A and B are shown apart, each in its own frame.
Chain A
Amino acid sequence: MHIPENYLSPATCAVMAAAAVPVIAVAVKKVRSEVTRAKLPMLGVGAAFSFLLMMLNLPLPGGTTGHAVGGTLIAILLGPWSAALSVSTALIIQAFLFGDGGILSLGANIFNIAFILPFVGYAVYKLISGDGKSKGREYAAVAVGSWFGLNAAALFTAVEFGLQPLLFKGADGLPLYCPYPLSVAIPAMMIPHMLVAGVAEALFTVLIVAYIRKVSPGDIYEGERKRPKGLYALVVALIAAVPLGLLAAGTAWGEWGAEEIGELAGYVPAGLAGGFEFSAIMPDYTISGLPEIPGYILSAIFGAAITIVLFRLIAGLAKEKKS
């Protein structure tokens, strides 16, 4: 779901960035005023969490891959604005350090994955869970909400991809950026996400909500006992599981390199061939000189740690402003 560099025209990127900036600004403001100090470090753990979930690639029907995000989970635990901020942080780290998702398209990615996803997921969850008295109903709400959240984000991504060939064509009539129109992009993105990735997201979310309910219910309900150690254990478990993400061999839909797309579409769109290229230090979570699996685990640890550090800094700033 991470839109790479040059798949969207610079104009689209500018529009999406303009949409993402107020999202982050409002999120920072809301988190500062609404989230209690005690919960601020939890946001960092949430961001680390989402970072790791996005590294766990699942093979999707059609030879592509996808992943869960965990945005709805964070929205349920800490509120949708906190989720927006957490997932944005994870996306920024992914783009700059690991080359997952483009720099120019970061605004679009933040809008789709960090804004649409948690808000849609949270709204559906609230709608279904009702007063939250029935346990079964609540779990159903968690599952359906997270499924809808992920698919809403996939739909937005597909529409952004699909609009490119309609809007931006070269002199020869060939698309300049993403070559697939809406009629291809939407089914190609939506069917696998509805069938596999959305289900995985729902499964993850339900399992983790159940786990947190058991280990540290204070993170969901006021006044219950809290055991943050359980959450850190979850992060460690996810790090250990991350190499499973390497089993899914294909590339995610719409995240091909220029060569791959040349084989798939028969030609390389002009904007893709000669566009802006940011070379991340650790492209695709690998590092030269290290075998794939240890490199992937190392990137998972590094990414999770740096997300927590970033968030604790933000939390520190917020505290200073308050006192």
Chain B
Amino acid sequence: MPEWLSKPEGYAAARDRDTFIDRSVLALLSLISRLRTAGAEPAGRFAVDPFFRVAATLLLVVAVSLAREFASVYVTLTFVTVQLAALPSRALRGTLKFTLITTAFTFIVVLPSAFLGNRYSITMLPAKVFVSVAAVNILSRTARWDALTGALGRLRVPDIFVFLLDITVKYIFMLGEFVLQSLQALGLRSVGRNDRRYGSLSGVAGVLFLKSRQMAEETHWAMECRGFAGKYPRPARLRVGAADILYCAVSLAVLAAFVWIEVRA
């Protein structure tokens, strides 16, 4: 037996902070888990067909951006707050966190105008941002991605757009998992101090690019094999239940109140 094998070596790996790997891994994990759980919430309270919800949310966002009276924004604010109160608690916390941060940011941005005596924009703009961001967040957190793209198809959004959206969401998910695995592999193989972090990270990025090209080709072949030319079959007729009717009635009432206030003012 050679002598060096019997000697204790006493190698202690130099401590190194893997924050860059950890941070990227965490960010990716949260993204993937969000995509995976989006819409996985119990549908009981939000059993309304996504078609109506997408349509109503779009209308709401457009209406809010056109509002000139605080009273009409208040009507939509109440509508959104009632929906918030009915959200499952995870979705509620996520939505509020995101919405409040954007609202606070808007508030800070318009704050100088308050010092110049403009009291209108300091309440109007944050309120508008709150309503629009919250409405879109509620929709995205309680409806599944495929249901949303389906609803867009019904709304006569061009097929190519729906196709792109669909593929993008799916591949963010798939490529995200791929990067996650690469980063984990990198982390496991790194011992001691890594002085070439940027090199290893750009390596991951390069592999990712190659992988995405390969995946795109595979998708193309899969489409050809199945005779899919990017044209979706028209979905079957909508089934309208009591929840849908109630939701539409409330949305229409909100819209009517909104128009009434704006026209009267």
**Chain A residues engaging chain B, CB cutoff 8 angstroms:** 281-282, 287-290, 294-295, 298, 301-302, 304-306, 308-309, 312-313, 315-316, 319
Further pairs besides A301-B78, A305-B82, A313-B96: 5, Cβ < 8 Å: A287-B74, A289-B261, A298-B75, A302-B77, A305-B84
Contact in complex: A289, B265 (CB < 8 Å):
yes
Residues of chain B contacted by A287 (CB below 8 angstroms): 70-71, 74
A287-B71, A309-B92, A313-B93 are contacts. A301–B123 as well, Cβ < 8 Å? no
With A and B bound together, what is the CA distance between A300 and B5 in angstroms?
A: 80
Task: Point out which of B69, B72, B82, B265 has the most chain A C-beta atoms below 10 A from its C-beta.
Answer: B82
Q: What is the minimal beta-carbon distance from B243 to any residue of chain A, in angstroms?
A: 14
**Chain B residues engaging chain A, CB cutoff 8 angstroms:** 69-72, 74-75, 77-78, 81-82, 84-85, 89, 92-93, 96, 123, 257, 261, 264-265
Contact in complex: B81, A306 (CB < 8 Å):
yes
Q: Which of B71, B89, B257 meets A315, CB within 8 Å? A: B89
Q: What is the minimal beta-carbon distance from A248 to any residue of chain B, in angstroms?
A: 24
A282-B74, A287-B71, A290-B261 are contacts. A313–B92 as well, Cβ < 8 Å? yes
How many A-B residue contacts, CB cutoff 8 Å?
A: 53
Chain A residue at minimum C-beta to C-beta distance from B261: A289
Residues of chain A contacted by B75 (CB below 8 angstroms): 298
Main secondary structure of the interface of A (DSSP, over half): helix
Contact in complex: B85, A312 (CB < 8 Å):
yes
Contact in complex: B123, A281 (CB < 8 Å):
yes
Main secondary structure of the interface of B (DSSP, over half): helix
Task: Offer 17 A-B interface pairs, CB within 8 angstroms, sorted by A.
Answer: A287-B71, A289-B72, A289-B261, A290-B71, A290-B74, A298-B75, A298-B78, A301-B78, A301-B82, A302-B77, A302-B81, A305-B82, A305-B85, A306-B81, A309-B84, A316-B89, A319-B89
Contact in complex: A298, B74 (CB < 8 Å):
yes
Contact in complex: A305, B81 (CB < 8 Å):
yes
Residues of chain B contacted by A312 (CB below 8 angstroms): 85, 89, 92
Q: What is the minimal beta-carbon distance from A315 to any residue of chain B, in angstroms?
A: 7
Contact in complex: A288, B81 (CB < 8 Å):
no
Contact in complex: A288, B89 (CB < 8 Å):
no
Contact in complex: B78, A305 (CB < 8 Å):
yes
Q: What is the minimal beta-carbon distance from B265 to any residue of chain A, in angstroms?
A: 6
Chain A residue at minimum C-beta to C-beta distance from B92: A312
Residues of chain B contacted by A298 (CB below 8 angstroms): 74-75, 78
Residues of chain B contacted by A289 (CB below 8 angstroms): 69-72, 261, 264-265
Q: What is the minimal beta-carbon distance from A41 to any residue of chain B, in angstroms?
A: 9
Contact in complex: B70, A309 (CB < 8 Å):
no
With A and B bound together, what is the CA distance between A289 and B67 in angstroms?
A: 13
Residues of chain A contacted by B264 (CB below 8 angstroms): 289
Chain B residue at minimum C-beta to C-beta distance from A317: B93
